[in-house]
Amino acid sequence: MSNIPAFGLGTFRLQGQVVIDSVRNGLEVGYRAIDTAQIYGNEAEVGEAIAASGIARDDLFLTTKIWVDHYSHEKLVPSLKESLKKLRTDAVDLTLIHWPAPNNGVPLEAFMSALAEAKSQGLTKQIGISNFNIELTKQAIAVVGKENIATNQIELSPYLQNRKLVDFLQQEGIHVTSYMTLAYGKVLSDPVIRAIAERRHATPAQVALAWALRLGYSVIPSSTKRENLASNLLAQTLELTDDDIAQIAALERNGREVSPEGLAAQWD
């Protein structure tokens, strides 16, 4: 089983001083897992904020993702070494293939074996995938073995519950990491979520995050506001009832927010 923290800090779309402040605030209020990616263009700032925090590297869990331009066997490991330099560390805890990008000219077998190579070189402790459907996850398993796929990081929210893919991953023992758990904030104004939040004396964000945690997923919400960063963390102690969970289950509407042309495969 992978040992991926249940709660992390996402940095998607945050750049420059904004991401430095978010990571600093996150670390100060108690986050110990940080999620970034080569394409976010903020690895150096994340590294800077971590260095300034004085928190020991061993107390942190760092994830980055390889961008599609670096999938070839010649490029993947060098690109990860570049990321490590920016992040000011000898190794990250988890490295993911960011998108399957089926038509970018690099076969899945090539980038999955290059990723396994990065792990055997000690550049990353665990490896995994992101945005892979069932068929491509099966192909990845065929290359590296399911015990070597620590997680599939996928878009998951009360509006996009992805049950078919989740069931498959859980059967295979591959951990699920949910991103966009708040659907760009859309679920925060949902009447069902708001009613549960009121009953539980919680925020709508806490309810959506607690729902994902209850289903066994890891979450990586981001925020630029210190009070929201602190508040989101409290989702870990929010107890939802089976009835709350059932009400949220009924919100499924296949509400996908992210599916870039050429990068995504056919969704299940």
Q: How confident is the model at residue 3 (pLDDT cuts 50, 70, 90)?
A: confident
Beta-sheet strands, E only, within the chain: 9-10, 33-35, 61-66, 92-97, 124-130, 151-155, 175-179, 218-219
Specify if 4 maps to a domain. Answer: no
> 33-65: per-residue pLDDT in tens?
999 999 999 999 999 999 999 999 999 999 999
Q: Quick one: pLDDT at residue 2?
A: 61
Specify if 266 maps to a domain. Answer: no
> 102-127: per-residue pLDDT in tens?
989 999 999 999 999 999 999 999 99
> 145-195: per-residue pLDDT in tens?
999 999 999 999 999 999 999 999 999 999 999 999 999 999 999 999 999
> 194-214: per-residue pLDDT in tens?
999 999 999 999 999 999 999
Specify if 247 maps to a domain. Answer: no
Q: Residue range 85-107: average pLDDT?
A: 96
Binding-site residues for substrate sit at: 98
Average pLDDT, the chain: 97
Q: Residue range 23-41: average pLDDT?
A: 98
Phi, psi of 251 (to 5 degrees): -85, -5
> Quick one: which of 12, 125, 119, 117 has its CA closest to 58?
125
Specify if 19 maps to a domain. Answer: yes
Domain count, the chain: 1
Phi-psi region of 162 (alpha: psi -120 to 50; beta: other; left: phi over 0): left
Specify if 265 maps to a domain. Answer: no
Burial code of 56-84, b = ≥16 C-beta within 10 A, e = fewer?
Answer: eeeebbbbbbbbbebbeeebbbebbeebb
Q: Which residues carry out catalysis?
A: 40
Phi, psi of 212 (to 5 degrees): -65, -40
Specify if 237 maps to a domain. Answer: no
Note if the pTM is more than 0.95: yes
Specify if 196 maps to a domain. Answer: no
Q: Residue range 236-240: average pLDDT?
A: 97
Q: Indicate which CATH number applies to the domain containing 115.
A: 3.20.20.100
Give yes or no for residue 96 having a pLDDT over 90: yes
Which secondary structure element, helix H or strand E, spans residue 76, and what is its range? Answer: helix 73-87
* Rounded Cα distance, 215 and 42, in Å: 30
Specify if 235 maps to a domain. Answer: no
Q: Quick one: pLDDT at residue 196?
A: 98
Q: Which domain holds residue 82?
A: 9-185+216-225
Does residue 126 sit in helix, strand or coil?
A: strand
Percent of the chain with pLDDT over 90: 98
